[in-house]
C-alpha cells in the first residue's frame, strides 16, 4: 500500500500559523482579563479592610484624646471644658507645626526628573556625534 504524503504549501502553513497566533493571542487576553478580575476583587477586599482599620484607629485616637481630657480633669482638678481647651490647644499647635513643616518640604521638593533629562541630553549628543562621524566617513 503506497504511503500518502500530504504536503502543505507555504500559503496553507502561513494561514494555519496566523490562525494559531490569533487563537493564542485571544487566549492570552482572556487569561489576562481573568487574572486582573481576580486581583482587582482581592484589592477591593483589602482596601475595605484598610479603610475599616483606619476608621477604627481614628476612633481609637479620639478615645485617647477623651481619656487625656478626663485624666487632666481628674489629676489637675480643673473643669472638663478647661481640660478640653488645653488638650485642643496642644493638639492644634502640634497639627499646625506638622502641616507647616510638610508644606515647606513640599515647596522645596523639585519634581523635575533632572538626572533623566541630563542622560537624555547626553544620549542625544552621543547620537548626534555618531551621525556626524558617519557622515564624515562617507565624505
Q: Mean pLDDT over residues 28-56, rounded? A: 91
Q: What is the pLDDT of residue 102?
A: 92
Q: Is residue 122 part of a domain?
A: no
Domain with 87 in it = 14-109
Structural domain includes residue 88: yes
128 occurs within a structural domain = no
pLDDT value of residue 4 = 47
- pLDDT-based confidence at 78, cuts 50/70/90? very high
**pLDDT score recorded for residue 126:** 79
In a domain, 83, yes or no: yes
pLDDT digits (tens, 9 = 90+) for 94-122: 999 999 999 998 888 877 778 888 888 88
Question: Do the domain assignments include residue 19?
Answer: yes
- Residues 32 and 105: their CA atoms lie apart, in Å, by 41
**Residue 40, C-beta contacts closer than 8 angstroms, at least 6 positions apart:** none
78 domain-assigned? yes
pLDDT, average across residues 120-127: 82
> Looking at the domain assignment, is residue 118 inside a domain?
no
pTM over 0.75: no
The answer to whether the CB of 87 falls within 8 A of the CB of 69 is: yes
Among 52, 92, 60, 28, smallest CA distance to 84 is for 92
% of the chain at pLDDT higher than 90: 43
Tell me the average pLDDT across 64-72: 96
Contact 83, 69 (CB under 8 A): yes
- What average pLDDT does range 72-94 have in this prediction? 95
Domains identified in the chain, total number: 1
Q: Residue 56 CA to chain centroid, in angstroms?
A: 25
CB 83 within 8 A of CB 74: no
In angstroms, the Cα distances linking 21 to 15, 25, 44, 80 are 10, 6, 34, 76
Between CA 45 and CA 13 the distance in angstroms is: 48
Q: Is residue 5 part of a domain?
A: no
What is the average pLDDT value for the chain, to the nearest integer? Answer: 86
Quote the pLDDT of residue 8: 66
pLDDT top residue among 91 and 6? 91
Amino acid at each position: 500500500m503506497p504511503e500518502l504524503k500530504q504536503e502543505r504549501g507555504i500559503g496553507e502553513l502561513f494561514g494555519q500559523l496566523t490562525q494559531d497566533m490569533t487563537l493564542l493571542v485571544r487566549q492570552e487576553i482572556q487569561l489576562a482579563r481573568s487574572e486582573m478580575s481576580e486581583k482587582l476583587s482581592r484589592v477591593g477586599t483589602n482596601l475595605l479592610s484598610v479603610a475599616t482599620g483606619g476608621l477604627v484607629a481614628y476612633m481609637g485616637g479620639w478615645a485617647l484624646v477623651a481619656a487625656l481630657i478626663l485624666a487632666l480633669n481628674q489629676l489637675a482638678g480643673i473643669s472638663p471644658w478647661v481640660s478640653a481647651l488645653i488638650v485642643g490647644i496642644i493638639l492644634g499647635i502640634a497639627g499646625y507645626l506638622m502641616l507647616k513643616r510638610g508644606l515647606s518640604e513640599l515647596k522645596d521638593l523639585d519634581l523635575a526628573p533632572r538626572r533623566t533629562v541630563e542622560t537624555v541630553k547626553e544620549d542625544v549628543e552621543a547620537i548626534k556625534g555618531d551621525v556626524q562621524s558617519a557622515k564624515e566617513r562617507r565624505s
